[in-house]
Structure 1
């Protein structure tokens, strides 16, 4: 076990301009070494501690206190002295003043013949009439009700009819909404999930057609340039109109400010155009990289479904974690407070319970980011294996399973290391957010401004670290290096190719945005047309199932494009490594990328 496997080796001093060496490299193989074992051990220990803390909370906590209600006298039903056996609350009026009861009335008792036929507060004046007692809020008639989380909810009774007068329209609309979704559930799932995935592959195939990506990209770039010019011109013209007003309605500084702003926007448009001209060849490279990324997904279709495994892993963690949070939250001391004449309960936590809460939050950040990181390593390994395989027919579903195997066997520690960094940043941001809330309550403007700046800085740090992490994971997947070495190598690799990286990021963002819109809208349109032709007579409206299809298709589009984005980044790094490590026919680049390399390095020049 060496320093690098433990994650302690930062690697040799690296020259930012030093090219990669291709000696003996044939792409990702099974001959790998375990990376960042120390952080694998740390996250396992963290999970063990989480389980111990959560188990102890389950022993000492009582989640029913979280839903226990407070009666008119400030007593917690089922817990306070005098109402230990009365776990349910029966509300007496619309102000939510209630009485703790043992059981909810199973049937209406109307009309009442004695005070026992009413539910009343303690020590009421029974000499008054029943109607007077109810009108004053001291008592309420017994209506048939059922227990829902400790609250007596009226069922088939005259009181329920009265409530329906006010809630009938909303309830009816919700019922129709839910009924339509249930009736069309097959179409919702089929189009929102299956057809959306098909649309994703169709979009990927569509990108292979000659000129499609270039048309998308250049049309979008030109449109952005024209919009900036139009906005700048409009601001200047508007400023002139303000200047010519008679009588003058605006101050001179307002007119000047609008014209200056218009000039700035036009200047930005000109700089944008110059930048695009400078990056034009890099944009063509980005187009070729995106095409190759699309081919990798077409050759390994199983890779699209990998995010479902991540969702499954998230659910496996989230279920016990939610239980731990609930039981820990119930370990506080109940304190009854009053607001607008209504009693409610609050919790006062000891320092030890608060520390548990902070640890639970930190483990949520670390584990969720760990699942994301491990998924990125798997995707990068699969795509890198595809790129460095000359005969693409040898690549398929088995490659995805190979990537899962090597990632789980060798690089879980790297995922733990990278995710730990993001988790720490997220914790700092959460603490800053809590401090912002306190400053807002105290109306401390200076503190709010300082904390807002800190929050913005940490947001930028998080975005940068996620970018660095993603490319570090790709380095790990390709070269089997530890996190620190991978982050350093990945950073310098991008630094040597900053213009290319910028072009790839610009083009990929355009293609990914168009892809999300295409997948979701096509699935939604096809579902609407099909449901209108087949089951429209069985539905109250097509709106509800169509909206659900769009939501589900949008989620699928995000997952699909997340995989696509990782494939683009991986192909980009593989291409640069291929360019720096190999020459001539030794290179692995194919199609458009091979043409770009042949143009840059003609064969007669070696």
Structure 2
């Protein structure tokens, strides 16, 4: 007889619930039924074949949230504690005067008090702000000293502690002894350096066709170039900006106004801008194709006898072959563009509708247009903090005494010693830390801004009755982001910052290797590595932006939000490519218009406003370009982030719902009409 265990009843999985409920009391069954009813009220229908996460009701309001990835926000705060400590050290050990004034041949800083160091006595150079270059006739070396004003021709400049004699004979003796030097040319001040007027012209020449290689002017010009080029990049930037900051600041406000005007325009005529861009691209390429084939046909017709009956002319044959190749390539590109335009016209129309819907969403929350201004000033403050601290770190170090390096015989014994600023050994690591903290904070601010925009726009999309929207959706979205999602944003921004700081290190290595004329293979390897870092950075930025949208809508952690966003985008890949390219190109045109207009005005002002600026306007112009590009990007990013949010919500809406009474769409009537017309089409990509 078999054991009793062999006769135990096996409960099948689909009957498990029935067996369990038999053993429940009546009160427990009633409680369970009530819970199921309550859950059914908040659980959305999950379409077959789509993620189980769709059981959650869409929209920021319907989500129960908690703090995620909090450890990364704690790390972010600790990083800022370290940056504040480094900033305090930089202010204590750094010296702004080193960014502005020059240093003489004895290591004394012009325009400042120099305390005694070792064998070198103290020198008060507070009133001597200009650096003058002397010519050592005995050895041919050029040395420098601080002066109160730039000397004129026939003046006499002596070493420190040497007073110019009152008689011509005494002056001649001092010059013969090498303690004083006559000024052979009129000098002018440039970047607090006294440079001969003739040398100013020499500085801008690549060669010296009218001067002897060993002439005094060439020596001084080369020495000035060496002194100016030997300064750190931070010193050059700070000194040039000290002259031109009013223009740079004015151009920043100009870029702000142009960006605001462009955003208003795109909200009014978004559809026309998109279709005009597509049509003009096709027409321009068609015109190029026609011109190429026409020129090839002219050579084919008029030069046929030369090419066939006579010896071929190389230039004519080269033009014939080149035009034929270009005509074929351009024709293929035009056909591809035309076919893609026809095939993707529905997706282009979808892009137009989504941009128009984005404009409608922005109109319901006008403060979203002003939101980039707050971000602009916040990041401007961060950038100013970074530049100041980084520049002060570049000027920090320990001043030591060493033997004077020239062989000039000096009459004063205490001038046989000189001072030299030696950087601290930890300086490179502190600079890397500051750069990493800057990148992390920059991306963190962007992440908070993106999550806030996404939360406000998603709240608009997932609300059926638009009149029931919150009074201040932007403020509500920001409060929700600040309370729950700073850890997730710190996590995502840290990933991008790590890649960016690696890129910065590679750029520095490339610059130093190029200056030292190192192995070309090593430079190419660094360049390839940097390209890989750029690709990784772009991918992470794309992933972060869409992850922040999912975080704003559902309150996911960073990893869960990135996974959900990536899977949703893969299922709608073709739509993504078309909408991203169309909207991206439209926003790029806006950036180019704003940046080019701002830079042209800035260039005209920098060349004519002030002589000091005109001498050295490259760095201010670069700053104007960067600032105007950043400002334009801030405003373009409002539309860009809103478009991405609407698109992601639209894709999820299409997967969740089918437009029936049981599962109606959340989208607006315009989008719903477009979706209903193309409901029977196959999906973009198989899941």
For this structure pair, what is the TM-score category when the shorter chain's length is used for normalisation?
Answer: 0.7 to 0.9
> What corresponds to 1:577 in structure 2?
652
CA distance, structure 2, for counterparts of residue 437 and residue 519 of structure 1: 31
| Equivalent in the alignment of 2:547 | 472
Deviates more, 1:225-234 or 1:507-516: 225-234
1:131 and 1:85 map into 2 onto residues whose CA distance is 27
- Cα deviations by residue, 1:307-326 (Å, 9 ceiling, x for unpaired): 22222322443454444324
Change (3 A) 1:429 1:191: closer
Structure-2 residue corresponding to 1:249: 314
Q: Could you tell me how far apart the structure 2 residues matched to 1:72 and 1:25 are?
A: 74
Gaps of 5+ in 2: 1-47, 136-141, 184-188, 203-242, 409-417, 602-620, 681-687
User: Does the CA contact (< 8 Å) of 2:503 and 2:530 recur in 1?
Assistant: yes
Contact kept, 8 Å, 1:228 with 1:265, in 2: the verdict is yes
- Which residue, 257, 276, 285 being the options, matches 1:216? 276
Q: 1:597 aligns with which of 675, 683, 687?
A: 675
Q: 1:213 to 1:23 in 2, by over 3 A?
A: farther
Does the CA contact (< 8 Å) of 2:510 and 2:526 recur in 1?
yes
Q: Which runs of 5+ in 1 are unaligned?
A: 1-15, 142-146, 167-176, 528-546
C-alpha contact (below 8 Å) 2:72/2:490 kept by paired residues: yes
Judging changes above 3 Å, is the alpha-carbon distance between structure 1 residues 334 and 20 closer, same or farther for their aligned structure 2 residues?
Answer: farther
Task: Give 2:377's aligned residue.
Answer: 312
For residues 388 and 228 of structure 1, the distance between their equivalents in structure 2, rounded to whole angstroms, comes to 46
Kept in 2, the 8 Å contact 1:197–1:556? The answer is no
- Asked whether the 8 Å contact 1:196–1:520 carries over to 2, the reply is no
Determine the structure 2 residue equivalent to 1:456.
Answer: 531
Q: Equivalent residue for 1:329?
A: 394
Which of 47, 50, 67 matches 1:18?
Answer: 50
Q: How far apart are residue 56 of structure 1 and its match?
A: 3.4
**Superposition pairs for residues 308-387 of structure 1, below 5 Å?**
308-333=373-398, 348-387=422-461
Query: Alpha-carbon deviations, 1:382-427, whole Å to 9, x = none?
Result: 1111111223234476001111111111111122111111111111
Q: Is the 8 A contact 2:164 2:171 kept in 1?
A: no
SS at match of 2:64: coil
CA separation of 1:236/1:33 partners in 2, compared to 1, >3 Å: closer, same or farther? Answer: farther
Structure 2 partner of 1:539 = none
| CA–CA separation in structure 1 for the residues paired with 2:405 and 2:501 | 33
Q: Cα distance, 1:480 vs. partner?
A: 1.1
Per the TM alignment, residue 506 of structure 1 is displaced from its structure 2 partner at its CA by: 2.0
Quick check: 1:232–1:264 contact (8 Å CA) kept in 2? no
Per the normalisation by structure 1, the TM-score is 0.73
User: Rg: which structure is higher?
Assistant: 2
1:155-194 map, 5 Å: 193=256
Q: Deviations over 1:459-495 (max 9, x none)?
A: 2221222111111111111121111111121111111
Which residue is 1:204 aligned to?
267
- Superposed CA offset, 1:97-147 (max 9, x none): 54346xx47x999999xx9xx765556895646599799993579xxxxx9
**Offset at 1:512?**
2.2
Q: Is the 8 A contact 1:228 1:269 kept in 2?
A: no
Report what 1:405 is aligned to. Answer: 479
Displacement after TM superposition at 1:32 (Å): 1.9
Distance 1:449 1:515 in 2: 35
Distance 1:303 1:132, change over 3 A: farther
Segment of structure 1 superposing worse, 21-30 or 239-248: 239-248
Contact 1:220 1:510 in 2 (8 A): no
**1:92 Cα shift?**
4.5
- C-alpha separation between the residues in 1 aligned to 2:258 and 2:326? 46
Q: Does 1:50 align with 2:102?
A: no
For 1:17 and 1:233, how far apart are their aligned partners in 2?
A: 52
SS at match of 2:472: helix
2:123 to 69, 85, 97: 85
Q: 1:451: how far off?
A: 2.0
Structure 1 residue matching 2:145: 3-state secondary structure = strand
Report the alpha carbon displacement of residue 261 of structure 1 after superposing the two structures with TM. 4.3
Alignment check: 8 A CA contact 1:239 1:256 kept: no
1: CA distance between counterparts of 2:100 and 2:253? Answer: 38
Task: Write the mapping of 1:388-427 to structure 2, written as runs, cut at 5 A.
Answer: 388-395=462-469, 398-427=472-501
| CA pair 516-355 structure 1, distance change in 2 beyond 3 A | closer
CA contact (8 A) 2:94 2:395 kept: yes
Larger deviation, residues 232-241 vs 60-69 = 232-241
Helix, strand or coil for the counterpart of 1:351?
Answer: coil
Is the Cα–Cα contact under 8 Å of residues 40 and 412 in structure 1 kept in the other structure?
yes
Q: How far apart, in 2, do the equivalents of 1:359 and 1:383 lie? A: 36
Aligned 8 A contact 1:89 1:100 in 2: yes
Whole-Å Cα distance in 1 between the matches of residues 426 and 598 of structure 2? Answer: 51
Q: Which moved more, 1:346-355 or 1:190-199?
A: 190-199
Separation (CA, whole Å) in 2 of partners of 1:353 and 1:181: 33
Aligned counterpart, 1:9: none
1:92/1:138 contact within 8 Å kept:
no
Pair 1:122–1:46, CA change in 2 (3 A): same
RMSD after superposition: 5.0
Contact 2:256 2:631 in 1 (8 A): yes
Q: 1:595: Cα distance to partner?
A: 0.7
Q: TM-score, normalising length from structure 2?
A: 0.65
Contact kept, 8 Å, 2:134 with 2:181, in 1: the verdict is: no
Q: Distance in 2 between matches of 1:449 and 1:255?
A: 36
Which of the residues 545, 553, 572 maps onto 1:497?
572
Q: Distance in 1 between matches of 2:326 and 2:90?
A: 59
